[in-house]
């Protein structure tokens, strides 16, 4: 098996192991870690079709995390993908209408972030042991809603770790906020910020890169790591479910091994879809990745024009986990289509931070043919949710709704009938108000919990444990701060006084 090392998209070409990259999260130079080459799937698609989720995840992840022993990796996988998930299949693939839906929301927080965040704490503690780290790992995270809760659930009370989550106050759904502020665990700290997600993300990135803060933490026997989607410890587990989805279609006789499929991915930070792209570069037969944006359609414009431009109004939509103007993981793709040039990538990222935009050259654009960018307006999303419900009885959440609506537009524009897997990223229960009012606007008069009952009645899908749990849980976190006060809050929680 090929040994894979990781280097920064803004670095000097020096390389570190997978476990070191997982511990660091973000490179010191501000770049993202990328594998120095992409391994090939070494096992036939027919064989994969006979495996269960854990076995597929193992076969995919071992190719990337080459300094983990088989035993270590199996330990991580077995502890992550267990009865926390409410189905043995972990990520069921169903036929709904004329497409397949891969449900990535059966974990403890009912959104796709669980797919990676239920394994990250295990990858990280194993990585710490491998590298003789004795400091506590402090997870510092900005969230647009779902990462925060999934990371809190994953890290709560894990020995040797602490976790601090910042979320945009007023920028997440009521259910999302309740899930976070009721989080148990003495090592957890949740803060609402008076700003949007990008403000939170930028401040977190700045803290990561601040050498004096690093010194202060070290004095407290602590060090930062990131559970954000930039960590390769999140990216790698996500590659697995693309291979899994494909193998299910083979298993169920929907396609023959080798046939191409399309994936439709509701996108924000570009982490989920990038994992799929990596799977295709490993040899998974994919025709197109349909990148679905909401009204914050930076990525749609980028794929259409080659210009990435975040200078625009930030729109709060009913798919808040995709309300993002800086798609961090796109940097990995930009680096790749710039011929793996750190210099060129750095120039684009400098331009992004100074001018809010960059434009890639024609020869780089030519390498984006695997992607199709689309977007759905709030109206198109709501109409699509209603229509899918009326035609099939199936109710999607608002993020998956964006993907569905974009897929419809894609088919009518291109006529492409390649079998398509729509990646479903959240349970409708997580966004019950938006979902139910899309189906019937009159339901807006109901309170959040009555809406949940109504969703249960209409969908015939059991109310998930994650939702039942918050109904009478105590609020444990009520800190709110300005953007400029975030660092102070971190120091306070860690007991750092200057
Ligand atoms: C995070 C999230 C997304 C966006 O995923 P990215 O990897 O950031 O592109 C989409 N839907 C839901 C429900 C999410 O939580």
Q: Residue 227: is its pLDDT beyond 90?
A: no
Whole-number Å distance, alpha carbon 497 to ligand 1 midpoint, is 36
Q: Are strands 15-16 and 99-103 parallel, antiparallel or unpaired?
A: unpaired
| CATH (domain of 383) | 3.40.50.1100
Q: What is the pLDDT of residue 498?
A: 67
Residue nearest (by alpha carbon) to ligand 1 atom 14: 321
Q: Please give the number of the atom of ligand 1 that sits closest to the Cα of 146.
A: 15
What pLDDT digit, counting tens, does each position of 79-112 carry?
Answer: 999 998 999 999 999 999 999 999 999 998 999 9
Flag whether 84 is in a domain.
no
Flag whether 377 is in a domain.
yes
Flag whether 295 is in a domain.
yes
How would you write 281-309 as a 3-class SS string? Answer: HCCCCEEEEEEEECCCCHHHHHHHHCEEE
- Cα–Cα distances in angstroms (integers) from residue 191 to residues 224, 460, 476, in the given order: 17, 35, 11
Q: Residue 179: is its pLDDT beyond 70?
A: yes
Q: Residue 492: is its pLDDT beyond 90?
A: yes
Q: What is the pLDDT of residue 472?
A: 79
Q: Residue 55: is its pLDDT beyond 70?
A: yes
Range of the domain at 409: 93-108+233-466
Label residue 427 by pLDDT band (50, 70, 90). Answer: very high
Name every protein residue with a CB atom under 6 angstroms from any ligand 1 atom: 111-113, 146, 229, 266-272, 321-322, 399, 425-426
Q: How many domains does the chain have?
A: 1
Find the mean pLDDT for residues 23-49: 94
Whole-number Å distance, alpha carbon 313 to ligand 1 midpoint, is 20
pTM: 0.92
Flag whether 367 is in a domain.
yes
Flag whether 34 is in a domain.
no
Ligand 1 pocket test target in 266, 270, 435 with most atoms within 8 Å of CB: 266
Q: Residue 478: is its pLDDT beyond 70?
A: yes
Flag whether 196 is in a domain.
no
Whole-number Å distance, alpha carbon 293 to ligand 1 midpoint, is 10
Flag whether 328 is in a domain.
yes
Backbone phi, psi, residue 467, to 5°? -80, -45
Find the mean pLDDT for residues 124-148: 90
Mean pLDDT of the chain: 95
Residue owning tokens 């025709």: 287
Whole-number Å distance, alpha carbon 139 to ligand 1 midpoint, is 19
Flag whether 403 is in a domain.
yes
Whole-number Å distance, alpha carbon 270 to ligand 1 midpoint, is 8
Whole-number Å distance, alpha carbon 268 to ligand 1 midpoint, is 6
Q: Please give the number of the atom of ligand 1 that sits closest to the Cα of 271.
A: 7
Label residue 448 by pLDDT band (50, 70, 90). Answer: confident
Look at residues 290, 268, 295 and name the one whose alpha carbon lies nearest to residue 403.
290
What pLDDT digit, counting tens, does each position of 257-295 carry?
Answer: 999 999 999 999 999 999 999 999 999 999 999 999 999
What pLDDT digit, counting tens, does each position of 300-336 carry?
Answer: 999 999 999 999 999 999 999 899 999 999 999 999 9
Residue nearest (by alpha carbon) to ligand 1 atom 11: 425
Find the mean pLDDT for residues 35-61: 97
Find the mean pLDDT for residues 243-253: 98
Q: Please give the number of the atom of ligand 1 that sits closest to the Cα of 426.
A: 13
Q: Residue 205: is its pLDDT beyond 90?
A: no
Find the mean pLDDT for residues 227-256: 95
Residue owning tokens 């930062």: 224
Q: Residue 416: is its pLDDT beyond 80?
A: yes
What pLDDT digit, counting tens, does each position of 395-415 carry?
Answer: 999 999 999 999 999 999 999
Share of the chain above pLDDT 70, in %: 100
């Amino acid at each position: 098996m090929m040994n894979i090392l990781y280097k920064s998209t803004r670095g000097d070409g020096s390389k570190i192991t997978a476990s070191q990259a997982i511990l660091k999260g973000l490179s010191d130079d501000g770049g993202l870690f990328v594998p120095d080459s992409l391994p090939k799937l070494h096992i036939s698609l027919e064989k994969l079709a006979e495996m269960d989720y854990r076995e597929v995840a193992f076969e995919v992840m071992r190719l990337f995390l080459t300094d983990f022993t088989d035993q270590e990796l199996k330990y991580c996988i077995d502890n992550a993908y267990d009865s926390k998930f409410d189905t043995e299949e972990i990520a069921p693939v169903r036929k709904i209408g004329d497409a397949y839906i891969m449900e990535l929301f059966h974990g403890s927080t009912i959104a796709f972030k669980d797919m990676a965040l239920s394994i990250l704490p295990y990858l990280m503690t194993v990585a710490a042991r491998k590298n003789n780290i004795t400091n506590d790992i402090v997870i510092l995270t900005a969230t647009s809603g779902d990462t925060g809760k999934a990371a809190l659930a994953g890290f709560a009370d894990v020995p040797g770790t602490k976790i601090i989550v910042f979320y945009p106050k007023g920028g997440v759904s009521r259910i999302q906020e309740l899930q976070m502020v009721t989080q148990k665990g003495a090592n957890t700290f949740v803060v609402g910020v008076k700003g949007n997600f990008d403000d939170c993300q930028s401040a977190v990135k700045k803290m990561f890169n601040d050498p004096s803060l690093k010194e202060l933490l070290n004095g407290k026997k602590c060090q930062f790591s990131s559970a954000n989607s930039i960590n390769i410890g999140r990216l790698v587990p996500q590659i697995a479910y693309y291979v899994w989805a494909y193998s299910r279609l083979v298993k169920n006789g929907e396609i023959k091994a080798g046939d191409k499929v399309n994936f439709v991915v509701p996108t924000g930070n570009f982490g989920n879809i990038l994992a799929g792209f990596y799977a295709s570069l490993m040899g998974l037969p994919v025709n197109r990745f349909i990148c679905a944006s909401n009204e914050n359609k930076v990525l749609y414009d980028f794929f259409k024009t080659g210009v990435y431009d975040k200078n625009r109004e930030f729109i709060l939509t009913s798919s808040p986990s995709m309300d993002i103007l800086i798609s961090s993981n796109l940097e990995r793709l930009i680096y790749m289509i710039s011929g793996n040039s750190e210099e060129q990538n750095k120039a684009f990222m400098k331009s992004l931070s100074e001018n809010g935009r960059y434009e890639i050259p024609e020869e780089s654009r030519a390498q984006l043919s695997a992607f199709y960018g689309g977007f759905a307006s709030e109206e198109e999303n709501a109409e699509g949710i209603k229509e899918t419900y009326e035609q099939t009885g199936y109710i999607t959440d608002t993020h998956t709704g964006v993907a569905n609506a974009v897929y419809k537009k894609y088919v009518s524009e291109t006529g492409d009938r390649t079998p398509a897997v729509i990646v479903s990223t959240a349970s409708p229960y997580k966004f019950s108000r938006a979902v139910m009012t899309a189906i019937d606007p009159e339901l807006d008069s109901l309170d959040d919990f009555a809406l949940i009952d109504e969703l249960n009645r209409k969908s015939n899908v059991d109310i998930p444990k994650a939702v039942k749990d918050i109904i009478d849980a105590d609020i444990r976190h009520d800190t709110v701060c300005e953007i400029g006060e975030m660092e102070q809050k971190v120091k306070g929680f860690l007991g750092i006084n200057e």
